[in-house]
Structure 1
């Protein structure tokens, strides 16, 4: 099939054109409206002057978590600003009163709640004392639950802290419902997540509409699991049934080791790719669990480590053998330094993409960046300016001015020459639409926070650079023939915007909607 798009402002990633031809799934011609009239087509689409771009790539996100939040209560700004409002919102959940149903919410950040504290079982028991209540924190590492959920999980004052997490307690020793970091949250998820494979696939199918609304055509699931169901097969079955987005998977190293796997699981659909393995070196800045070199402001704590140097060495051998990437969660400068010290002098085993992706890469001083530039290993940074935009109050509370200015230093990252891309880590931030690309673009270009804070304007980048971090640069992070541009011969992955970002004030970019979307040449209906 041939389709001609005319009367547009088509930005290929490098140049502007007014017309484009799509043949089947590829861009087959670029030119002007006059040239388009000379070409035969099965369909002509009038873009009506709209800005047209390559579709976005969100290469660090958690799509199955997003699928879960689609049916749960948003407990995040601007909807919820206090524990009182959180309780009221959860009471309106459609699950209230349903036998055996969990009342679920997501997105709280104690620094953004009027009470200035984390909710506890005393608060969530006001929602229900007969149904389990579960609210995922904005970082998606921690959660808070009510007394019913604690009982179902078998958690008492005698329950020891699990590996990679901590169980919160009242002063009398009783558990307070706060589950800190992934290791503790898993104790709750183990009793909560008893869905069938069929139901999980049906939830996954909802992602097409979710990502279509955000202009996202490629996604990476950054904590892919094998149990209770292999994520590769969940996405593969969803793709067979019509999931439009292309998917890259990074399997948890804890799963790899627990199951004693020697090879990376391989999905059964060509739209789904096993890209690598995922490690966690620390937690989050907002929760003071990221591993930092100097104590947090007004604290003696420096965060804590999760995976170890031995895990890094294991990952290195596994990744070399399987010709795959290592992706490592590291927010604190101590964790980032440890990765550099462990891998920096080693030879890369991949040449067509980074061997090692450092995810988040929050605290990066000029000195540390220079060390990465000089490293033998081909590192890359996948970072999230949306965190600083949405959670500035928590960062300001935990970091003094010097380190605040070193957070998500986009201009410095680009100057360093180390491959860098932007992403969302959705739903892991305290924002109602954490994977709204236009929010990230706004923050990257203006360096102004959600409440008008200065996010260090010296690290601002221009719109072209910001767009490339969600397209061309993002495509360089994975094994693909795609360039995330609208060049002739490339996949026709296209979005048509409601307004022109190049002429619209950045403060209005978040009002942008996706008017049309094409993936592999096929229109994705809203």
Structure 2
């Protein structure tokens, strides 16, 4: 980024530096886009240049720029024409159908797709997700395709199934399945990613230029939340991801983006080698992503014990051969491997395969465990005792938003070890909180302060206790979005207010460290500064330009 901004000293602030739970400063200086002094006012003001600009922050609370290290910008861009169906706006099948009827494509012709995203049947009074019959009520003549909130599963109407060529004779894809009625005919349910992809691949794609513009349009979304760096764990939701993200950067996408490609697509592309130029810059390829299981919310996470009231242990969705091949490719290309593993059986299997393997990266984990839901103390001991440097990405927003599903799908012992955030903070050096947006069953899932409130209170949206013993403090939760999160992805010099780091920080409308816990989620970002430049000002409600 250009650094034509003057040297600025920011003082009269409560500055959480991100270097530790009790590390604070009163002032800092930014020169040529980087912090070069941080500390007491007198220290920062000493020997200041004559042309230095002084900014009095009036006692405001300042944080390092926030990092969302498991997000899906490409997915958000792909949803540009979709109707969003998240709770709390949609809470029933009837409401879902009505919501989809408001899509701008309704009545535009038989070849125009009606797309939606974000349904969560776990709290619907009908206690089930949509079928082809339900979605035919949106339109029987146009294809209708709506993805579940987790992004893995979906539903399609009969017209969409027809266009995708899915019939009673179509076999289930590996690691997934098509829902079927009693006669074996497909009923519109697309369970897990490979089944969803069977319909998604026939949806007419937008052009690369359109997707680049869609991505650039997300800049205000991230900056308004104080987010200056994201890891996209499904970057291939746009065509030619690196080129498209870099084109979006040219069009104004200013936050850093680390891109992870799904392993099957890496294989399909011929296991291409990744050059140093592709691993550098504000938009860079960061690694490979594998799905080892599904999600707890629809009983597809791979579990040690069967789900309550059933003999079902969920789905295993990747082979050992795939896992070993991905690690070998990543080692050769100096990239990470990110493994989606929610269930305890899935996480244990990752540890069995790789805990004693020599890591290949320095300064960051070679293998990331994504979502990390059921993690027992014994599993944590195994993770920290081995040779491999693992990273753990977990969530507070999942239990907060999807409490009904977790209440149904976890027994008492499992619930006690679900999302053990305090244990992650205390025992895992490379640990982070993240949003998984938009694959989270809540409309404002990447509001970091909602996630912080859920992590500190350990209460769901309805007040349910979601594990008080695993609550963290506000400083700890924010470290999992800043100083601790910075090692989880190759984002460059962000996450700390410290000399040498990029001058990216956020100014809040209140002191998030002292407000009542119930008010944390109401915290708003007043300004976001990116590499020494005012990038977002809430009064203007838009990025300020480069």
Q: Give the shorter-chain TM-score range.
A: over 0.9
TM-score by length of 1: 0.95
2:440 to 416, 420, 429: 429
1:373-430 deviation digits (Å, cap 9, x = unpaired) = 2112111111122111111110110111110111110112223235211111111111
1:25 aligns with 2:33: yes
Equivalent of residue 2 in structure 1, options 2, 7, 13: 7
What is the CA-CA distance between 1:67 and the residue it aligns to?
Answer: 2.0
Query: Which secondary structure does the structure 2 equivalent of 1:60 belong to?
Result: strand
**Structure 1 position 155 matched with structure 2 position 141:** no
**Does structure 2 conserve the Cα–Cα contact (< 8 Å) formed by 1:73 and 1:105?**
yes
Cα drift, residue 193 of structure 1: 4.3
2:365 corresponds in structure 1 to: 354
Question: Given the alignment of the two structures, is residue 309 of structure 1 paired with residue 320 of structure 2, yes or no?
Answer: yes
**Alignment counterpart, residue 116 of structure 2, candidates 105, 121, 126:** 105
Does 1:229 pair with 2:239? yes
SS in 2 for 1:48: strand
1:334 maps to 345
Q: How far has the Cα of 1:85 moved from its partner?
A: 1.3
- Could you tell me how far 1:101 is from its partner in structure 2? 3.0
1:174-185 equivalences under 5 Å are 174-185=185-196
Which residue of 173, 191, 197 maps to 2:184?
173
State whether residues 25 and 522 of structure 1, in contact with CA within 8 Å, keep that contact through their aligned partners in structure 2.
Answer: yes
Shift of 1:488: 2.1
Please give the per-residue CA displacement for 1:249-289, whole angstroms capped at 9, x wherever unaligned: 11211112122224136549721121111111111111111
Q: Which residue of 2 aligns with 1:73?
A: 83
Distance in 2, Cα, partners of 1:481 & 1:147: 47
Which is worse superposed, 63-72 or 204-213? 63-72
The one-character-per-residue Cα deviations of 1:154-207 (angstroms, maximum 9, x if unpaired) are: 222222111232111122322211111000110111011411111111111111
Partner in structure 1 of residue 285 of structure 2: 274
2:263 corresponds to: 253
The equivalent residue for 1:507 is 518
Task: Name the CA distance, whole Å, in 2 between partners of 1:513 and 1:457.
Answer: 26
Give the CA deviation at 1:497: 1.1
Alignment CA distance shift 1:41-1:94 (3 Å): farther
CA contact (8 A) 1:3 1:41 kept: no
Alignment of 1:44-83 (within 5 A): 44-83=54-93
Say which SS state the counterpart of residue 144 (structure 1) adopts: strand
Residue 92 of structure 1, aligned match among 102, 107, 123: 102
Specify which of 492, 496, 500 is matched with residue 489 of structure 1: 500
SS in structure 2 at match of 1:192: coil
* Matched length: 525
**Is the alpha carbon distance of 1:363 and 1:246 closer, same or farther for their aligned partners in structure 2, counting shifts above 3 Å?**
same
Offset from partner CA, 1:282-336 (integer Å, 9 cap, x none): 1111111111111011110001111111111111211221121111000111111
For structure 1, the residue ranges without an aligned partner over 5 or more in a row are none
Distance across 2 between alignment mates of 1:347 and 1:8: 44
Q: Is the 8 A contact 2:232 2:258 kept in 1?
A: yes
For the Cα contact (< 8 Å) 2:430–2:485, is it kept in 1?
A: no
How far did residue 32 of structure 1 move?
Answer: 5.4
1:292 corresponds, among 275, 291, 303, to 303
Are 1:59 and 1:423, in contact at CA under 8 Å, matched by a contact in 2? Answer: yes
Question: Distance between the aligned counterparts of 1:103 and 1:278, measured in 2?
Answer: 29
Q: Is the 8 A contact 1:236 1:269 kept in 2?
A: no
SS at match of 2:356: coil
Q: How far does residue 224 in structure 1 lie from its aligned partner after superposition?
A: 2.8
CA contact (8 A) 1:298 1:398 kept: no
Q: Distance in 2 between matches of 1:398 and 1:32?
A: 51
Cα distance change on mapping 1:30 and 1:90 into 2, 3 Å:
same
Separation in 2 of the partners of 1:426 and 1:273? 20
Task: Tell me if structure 2 keeps the 8 A contact 1:372–1:418.
Answer: no
- Which stretch shows the higher mean deviation, 233-242 or 166-175? 166-175
| SS of the residue 2:284 aligns to | strand
TM-score of the two chains, using structure 2 as the length reference: 0.92
Query: 2:204 & 2:54 partners in 1: Cα distance?
Result: 47
Among 9, 12, 16, which residue is 2:17 paired with? 12
Distance 2:292 2:476 in 1: 29
Equivalent residue for 2:390, pick from 379, 403, 408? 379
Could you report, residue by residue, the CA deviation over 1:24-63 in whole angstroms, capped at 9, with x for unpaired residues?
2111333556765984446444423321111111111111
Alignment partner, residue 3 of structure 2: none
Which position in structure 1 is the counterpart of 2:539?
Answer: none
Q: Aligned pair 1:216/2:259, yes or no?
A: no
Find the aligned partners of 1:507 and 1:340 in 2 and give their Cα distance. 37
Write the distance in 2 (CA, Å) between the matches of 1:339 and 1:347.
Answer: 14
Is the Cα–Cα contact under 8 Å of residues 476 and 483 in structure 1 kept in the other structure?
no
Offset from partner CA, 1:352-371 (integer Å, 9 cap, x none): 21111111111111111111
Q: Distance in 2 between matches of 1:112 and 1:171?
A: 25
